[in-house]
Structure 1
Amino acid sequence: MRINSSFDSGNIEVVSTDNPSNITLNVRTDSNSDFKQWFHFKAHGEAGKTYGYEILNAKDCSYVDGWENYQVVASYDRQYWFRVDTEFTADKTLKFKHQFEQATMFFAYFEPYSYERHLNLIQAAQLSDIAEHRVIGQTVDGRDMDLLVIGNESKERKIWITARQHPGETMAEWCAEGLVERLLDPNDALSRSLLEKAVLYVVPNMNVDGSYRGNLRSNAAGANLNREWQNPSLEKSPEVYHVREMMKSTGVDAYLDIHGDEALPYVFVAGTEGVPSYSDEVKSLEEEFKSILMAVNPDFQDEYGYDKDEPGKANLTVANSWVGEEFKCLSYTLEMPFKENANLPNAETGWSGERSYLLGQTLLNPLYQLVDKLR
């Protein structure tokens, strides 16, 4: 058995491959931080043989509750990803096994979204007559911060979408891709109608360095970008710094920040009820947004989610709280599961890139129906 993670978003440390039925591994920590949970590696063995794997430091990972009822994803062609038998054992290790149909397969924490696919999304989008690609700055590692401006900037409403502040939350960029591609579809009446009234600013990947390095939650400097919004710096969190500067120049009338949650097996949102400026108007917009999204996509629900912040107690270092307070607008964090949507389970794939993509497309429905009420 040969194991390799020397590729885009690869992450694993090999402890021992001596026993094919119990190959032992560890998850590597994020760059310059203590976060760890994302893994992604290639395994080369023999077709027809069953191999077992054990992640020894699962108990030391950042979100141990995330391993309960979790199933590893695997692929032979890196296109179709399926779930494999997985157990979080009594001694707090993560074990999974699979009979190889081919000699080589890939395993990951969730369906990967590669940097190459990110670049392809940006380049394809700019070919549309209604989209413009802007590089608004550089990351810690010197990669471009990519912004898509979709629609006419003369429109009164300014809607911002950011995704994948936490690089291991790849479902966020799958979701952003779905949203972008629907926006650019000239035959989609809803998208065209939305763009008659609003321009959308989309950052499909806030953390391209961490994504490429195989991090769970940090950028190359070790910063958790979603705790940098109150006072970002060019040295530690240039990704947030540049996006914030652009937001200040354009204004924001609605904001969605797209994420994934390790523990909760649901799709849900977190609002801004804890920010000092929270108002009845914003509360009404939040309730309407949720109601519309539930009506068009049953994957979304509002029964399970995070505890609401007490009035005035929001953490303003978090993106949706900072934006909600700064611009007094509808501002949501959208969360998707790493596991499965418990309300609509799919035993073969669990929650997937495809379902994240489709959710991204339906996010335009509430934005369209609310656009006249924004601000």
Structure 2
Amino acid sequence: MKITSNFDSGNIKVLALSEPKDIQLEINADNGSEFFQWFHFRLESTPFVEHSLHINGLEKSAYPEGWDDYHAVASYDRQTWFRIPSTFSDGTLKIDVEPEHKQMYFAYFAPYSYERHLDLLAFAQSHDGVDIEVLGETLDGRDMTVVRVGEPDAEKKTIWVVGRQHPGETMAEWFIEGLLHKLLDDEDPHVAALLQKAVFYIVPNMNPDGSVRGHLRTNAIGVNLNREWQTPSLEQSPEVFHVLNKMHETGLDMFLDIHGDEALPYNFVAGSEGIPSYDARLESLENRFKSALLTITPEFQDEFGYPKDEPGQANMTVASCAVGEAFNALSYTVEMPFKDNANLPDQYYGWSDRRSYQFGQDMLAAIVAVVDHLR
């Protein structure tokens, strides 16, 4: 019997591995920080034997409430990820499983590998009207890449979409893959109409170092990128530094920052109502966008989410607030669940990579509803 996490985005610590029904594990914290929640590992053992995996110490994890009603995902082929019944009690997540094959993979959510990230960039650049630009390097020396879709024009709106500031929130890049695939469908008349009015700048992965290292929330040195947007630096947060500089170069009329929420079992958005320049125009844009999304997909709802900031009380280090204020633009954080969509539960898959992908495609239709009103 063997457990390993020595691969892209792998994360687990083995405490005891003597009996199949008494496997004791812990999650490693992000380098340089106390955040931990993401796990990804492979079990190699005898098929059709009952195994009990115990992931311990979760009362100290980044979001302990995220384990309530949570079920781990697993895969045999690393393509299809399904839910395994899991129970949480006294700080321990227990996963009971009888593997059907010798090797079985487990993760907090369906992983999105760095190789798939590179494949997505390669796919994008093969299409007309697309430009791939490396803005700079991360602390581990990986590329910070933005994908431009559409030809820039002073009359067009400029729309930015970024994902995976928090690397363990892999649903964000599945979302962006879906959005990009639809945006690059040259037979889609809605996309053709949209690209006559807007140019897109898309960063599929804001945190490639944390993604490869198996981090939940931070970059290579333990910095939470979504608290760096007020004063990013090359020393601490080059990922934000390079992207923000490019935003100021291109201008910006709309911004979507794609995330995952550990605790809430819903898809929702969080706006910038607490920024100093928030006014009736921005409120109208937010309402128009949400109304469109509610009409387009039953996966979205606007009843459950984060409390709204009081006027002038926004955290200006957060991307959606900092960008909304800097550009006086419609700016939203988009959140998806790690668990399931409680309004449309799926016992076998829960909220999944495929549903995230589709949600990304649906988001484009909501953008169509607001693009003429962005400025």
After TM superposition, list the pairs within 5 Å mapping 1:52-67 onto structure 2.
52-67=52-67
The CA distance in 2 between the partners of 1:73 and 1:22, in whole Å, is 20
Q: State the 1:32 CA deviation.
A: 1.1
State the partner residue of 2:294. 294
Distance in structure 2 (CA, Å) of the matches to 1:193 and 1:368: 9
Asked if 1:139 is matched to 2:138, the reply is yes
Moved over 2 A (4+): none
Unaligned runs of 5+ in 2: none
| Partner deviation per Cα, 1:95-128 (whole Å, 9 max, x = no partner) | 1111111010000000000000000000110000
State the Cα distance separating 1:22 from its structure 2 match: 1.9
Q: Which residue of 2 is the match for residue 274 of structure 1?
A: 274
Give, in whole Å, the separation in 1 of the partners of 2:32 and 2:141.
Answer: 17
Normalised by the length of structure 2, the TM-score is 0.99
SS of corresponding position for 1:258: strand
1:109 and 2:86 are equivalent in the alignment: no
Whole-angstrom distance in 2 between the partners of 1:330 and 1:15? 48
2:4 paired residue number: 4
8 Å Cα contact 1:197-1:371 kept in structure 2: yes
Which residue of the partner structure matches residue 91 of structure 2? 92
Which residue is equivalent to 1:262?
262
Q: State the shift of 1:19 in Å.
A: 2.1
Cα distance in 2 for partners of 1:337, 1:22 equals 30
* Aligned residue runs from structure 1 range 131-280, under 5 A: 131-154=130-153, 155-280=155-280
Q: Distance in 2 between matches of 1:306 and 1:367?
A: 22
| 1:217-248 deviations in Å (ceiling 9; x for gaps) | 00002100000000000011000000000000
Q: Point out where structure 1 has 5 or more consecutive residues left out of the alignment.
A: none
Q: Aligned AA for 1:95?
A: K
- Partners of 1:123 and 1:339 lie apart in 2 by 31
Give per-residue Cα distances to partners, 1:285-339, cap 9 Å, x unaligned: 1001011011111100000000000000000000000000000010000000000
Report if the CA contact (8 A) 1:25-1:56 is conserved.
yes
CA distance in 2, matches of 1:359, 1:189: 19
**Cα separation, 1, equivalents of 2:17 and 2:338:** 27
Which residue does the alignment assign to 1:284? 284
> What TM-score, normalized by structure 1, do the two folds share?
0.99
**Alpha-carbon distance, 1:156 to partner:** 2.2
Letter of the aligned partner of 1:60 in structure 2? K
| Structure 1 residue 304 corresponds to structure 2 residue 304 | yes
Partner SS state of residue 257, structure 1: strand
Distance 1:374 1:7 in 2: 43
Amino acid in structure 1 at the alignment position of 2:68: E
Amino acid at match of 2:249: S
Q: Do 1:173 and 1:205's aligned partners in 2 also have CA atoms closer than 8 Å? A: yes
| Partner-residue secondary structure (3-state), 1:193 | helix
Partner residue, 1:367: 367
Query: How far does the alpha carbon of each residue in 1:174-210 deviate from its partner, in whole angstroms, 9 at most, with x for none?
Result: 0000001100000111111110010000000000000
1:250 CA displacement: 0.7
Structure 2 contact 156–196 (Cα < 8 Å) conserved: no
SS at match of 1:363: helix
Secondary structure class of the residue paired with 2:95: strand
On the 8 A contact 2:288/2:369 being kept in 1, the answer is no
Distance 1:324 1:217 in 2: 22
Amino acid at match of 2:140: D
Alpha-carbon contact 1:130-1:184 (below 8 Å) kept = no
Please state whether the residue corresponding to 1:248 is helix, strand or coil.
Answer: helix
Q: Which letter maps to 2:237?
A: S
The structural deviation recorded for 1:368 is 1.1
C-alpha contact 1:136 1:145 (8 A) present in aligned 2: yes
Residues 68-99 of structure 1 deviation map (CA, whole Å, 9 limit, x = unaligned):
0000000000000000110001x221111111
Q: Does structure 1 conserve the Cα–Cα contact (< 8 Å) formed by 2:268 and 2:336? A: yes
Task: Look up the match of 1:82.
Answer: 82
| CA–CA separation in structure 2 for the residues paired with 1:3 and 1:143 | 28
